[in-house]
A and B are shown apart, each in its own frame.
Chain A
Amino acid sequence: MSLDAPLRSCRDTPVLKERGQREVFCGLTGIVWLHRKMQDAFFLVVGSRTCAHLLQAAAGVMIFAEPRFGTAILEEKDLAGLADANAELDREVARLLSRRPDIRQLFLVGSCPSEVIKLDLARAAERLNAAHAPHVRVLNFSGSGIETTFTEGEDACLEAMVPALPGTTTPGLMVVGALPDVVEDQMLALLSAIGVPNVTCLPARRSQDLPAVGPETRVALVQPFLGATHAALVKRGAKAIPAPFPFGAEGTTLWLHAVAAAFGIPLDRVEAVIAAPRARAERALSTVSETLRGKRIFFFPDSQLEIPLARFLARECGMVPVEVGTPYLHRELMAPELDLLPEGPTLSEGQDVERQLDRVRAARPDLTVCGLGLANPLEAEGLATKWAIELVFTPVHFYEQAADLAGLFARPLRRRALLGEAAE
């Protein structure tokens, strides 16, 4: 496949901006994967019973160990007086930390109710930091639905960590975005073989491994929804590496090319390292993509992964995107992706779910990528669906996962074909 830009891309495609009911998760949901990534961190949501219920519903019962997240549920008396709410919060945190001595990082996570009553969690974090340092570092961010949409919760969390990162003047690469450990290890092996110096990750698996940042730090994102974290790192002097995101063989190759170029590493060295895994990924993709070729796909807005995934599916799997919805379109970070995405689909930003449902029913795509609330109702209308949330939870980045990523889209279609008669 070609790494060249298409004849006509989506760069100048006008964007349909929608405002109405949004069928999306709030940023609190990010806690579900962030707490698995940061193994000595506890996420304490200061919110309502709804927040606790959301986390339980989103996390499912898969991780029903005593989890490293919880909700301090606001009660009527907390609403009556904020001074009392602060005292209560201090008490709950002290109790929590004494019960869980393994916790080294505590995130106070703001919610819709805590934002509306203007509970100052930044000050609370400062106060609690003073009380519990040096054993525990206390940070805060907001995962509220009024400020964050789904994956923006991870952005807010990582952004909150940036000011606490140590400084450095050593040249190096910081990779930003939570990846499953197995994928992160593959990536680190590739970068090391290519000869990229001093590679660190944000978030780190353990709190003592915080990456350092400075004027010689180059930053590469592996997730497209990290605009605020990106800006905060640039503000601390780091330099951005614009690149498509490492989804699929092509995305991975272009991402690695961009990283190597930023460190002046010759292209032939990169090519030598990636030749084998890249060929492997392309071979695996050619099998899986048979199911996908020529099929029309429609993305509801969910995680901001939609545009990179549409690019991957269009260019490497032969799918035809009909509409690519995204909760928020970050023009600067998405520019390399839009340059690659072939012209054709409607690009929509934001959501009016009823109108979008009208469009999907009119378009009748072969596959619809949507949230769990919409999936069964659309299946019942005869539309094959792919749960968007799985794209965030499953290892999908870099070469070895390229075919797995395509497989996530192929499986509903294969399943539909298998059940063809029974489902009639």
Chain B
Amino acid sequence: MEKVFAMPEAMKDAKTLYCPGCGHGVAHRIVAELVDEFGLRERAIGIAPVGCSVFADLYWNFDVISAAHGRAAAVATGMSRAKPDCFVISYQGDGDLAAIGTAETVHAGNRGENFVTVFINNAIYGMTGGQMAPTTLVGQPSTTCQLGRDPSIAGYPIRVCELLQTLGGVAYLARGSVDSPKNVMATKKYLRKAFQLVLDKKGYSLVEIVSPCPTNWGMNPPEAMKWLKDKMLDHYELGVFKDITAES
């Protein structure tokens, strides 16, 4: 009998430590499936950021380095420049990429550093217990904006793809979501393109994945998925924001 569905070779057979309804598992799997699809397992290096995905090495069956909070883009630069044959995947959350690591993100993008960034946007700090993220929606409560995010105090939720769009070195920007099979397929398609562009040495390629965090949103998994669809996708439009290989 033909086997049509199996654990990717780039994935370890491990029990998940992520909460029920978390989006990291799907995102990790998409990455692993693409590592297999492109035959990159032996030369792939994943970056585990500070955040819930700091233990990405428990799940990915390829080399992993853990970066200091926000510094993944600089670490990725140091690896991909020194060993262009390596395939570097910088996996980062919203606090990591768009708060403490904004400078590294913007400048790695602007220099056109050749690595893939997987940006998990769940509008909250997960590992530290639900603090406000740069992507927290206006009015959304968190442990550090308990009355809801007030733009007059805390500014506005940052749209990372739109922010990076003008930078010369950026090759590819897209935003997907894990809220439905259809959107998971679309996200994988975006990430496949990002992988291809980095393999073709086209430069900085980022896929943002809008992802649920039921635990820190204070919801059960179905509620969280509904809130993601109704609220987050209203602010974070899905689609491709930049593709330097697209025909105009």
Is chain B a partner of chain A in the same complex? no
Chain B residues near A (Cβ < 8 Å): none
